[in-house]
Amino acid sequence: MTARKAWRRVDGVLLLDKPTGMSSNSALQATRRLFSAAKAGHTGTLDPLASGLLPLCFGEATKFSVDLLAADKTYEAELQFGVRTDTGDADGAVIMRCPVDFGESELAATLHRFRGPIRQIPPMYSALKRDGRPLYELARQGIEVEREAREVTVHELRLLNFSGDRCRLRIACSKGTYVRSLAEDLGAALASAAHLTALRRVAVGALSIVDAVTLDQLAEMQESDRAAWLLAPDTLLQSLPAVSLDGPAGLRFVHGNPVTTAALPGRCRVYADACLLGLGEVDEVGNLRPRRVLSVR
C-alpha cells in the first residue's frame, strides 16, 4: 500500500517563476507537494500561455493573498502583427490575416494612445462570468455575448524591440488589464491586426521575478534548502503602514477587540514585539480594528 502524504503547517510566501504551458493551480499544487504544505493558495491566476512571477501563499499567509490581487502588474509581451486569432493569443485559431505596412516609428508613435487610463472590452476567452458561467466556456461553444468596456490604467508601455511583423513590449498596468486585448487594439490602431505570442510577468506590486525560483530548481533541492526561499507572510503587506502595539494591546487585538492608536486612518499591518499580528484598519477617531488576525501556534 502507498503511504498517505503527510501534510504539515507551512507559513510564508514563495515567489515562483511559473513555466509556460502550466496552469496556475497546477503550479500551486506541484509546489505545495514539494513543501508538504497543508494549506496553500495563489494571489491571482497567470494564464497557461504566460510564464513568470506567481506569488504563492502557504498557511497563515493565505489570509493576505487577496491584498495582492489589486496590485499593479508588469509584463514583457511579444506580439505578432498581421494575424488575428479567436483567443487573442498564439493558442487560438487564425481568423484574420492582413498586411503589415507600418514601421517602427509608426508603432512607437501609436503607443502613446494606450498609455494612462484606457477603456478595454474584456476578451471572450477570459474567466469573467455571465450568468454564473465563465466567458471562455461560452466562447468554446461559439457563443459571443456583449461585454461592457472597463477602464484600466497602463502606467508604462515601452517598445523594447521591433523586427518585421513582431515586437516586444514592456507593460506596467493596473488590475484587470488584458494584455491580449491591448495587443488586438494596438493592431487595429495601426490598420492591421495583432495577437499575443508570448507573455512573461516580471513584477507584481513590489515583488520581482529576480527573486523567484522555478519548479525545477525546487525539485532538485533538499527540503531545508526549499525553506530558505519562503518569505515572511507580511511580504504581501509591505505597501501598508506598520503599527506597533504593546503586549496588552496586542493581546486584545488578536482576540478580535479594537484598540486605541495614534496611527492615521486606513488599513495597516499590526505588530507586537516585532511579530506580525495581522491586518487592521484605523477609523477616523483612532480605533484600530482587526480585519485579519494570525493564529497562534
Q: How far is CA 37 from the centre of its chain?
A: 21
Question: How would DSSP label each residue in 163-193?
Answer: ETTEEEEEEEE-TT--HHHHHHHHHHHTTS-
Catalytic annotation, pick one of 17, 47, 89, 185: 47
In the chain the beta strands, taken as DSSP E runs, fall at: 12-18, 40-42, 51-58, 73-81, 83-85, 94-97, 116-120, 129-130, 133-134, 150-163, 166-173, 194-204, 207-208, 213-214, 242-245, 259-260, 266-272, 275-282, 287-293
Residue 47 annotated to the active site:
yes
Whether residue 147 contacts residue 122, with contact meaning beta carbons closer than 8 Å, is answered with yes
Q: Catalytic positions, please?
A: 47
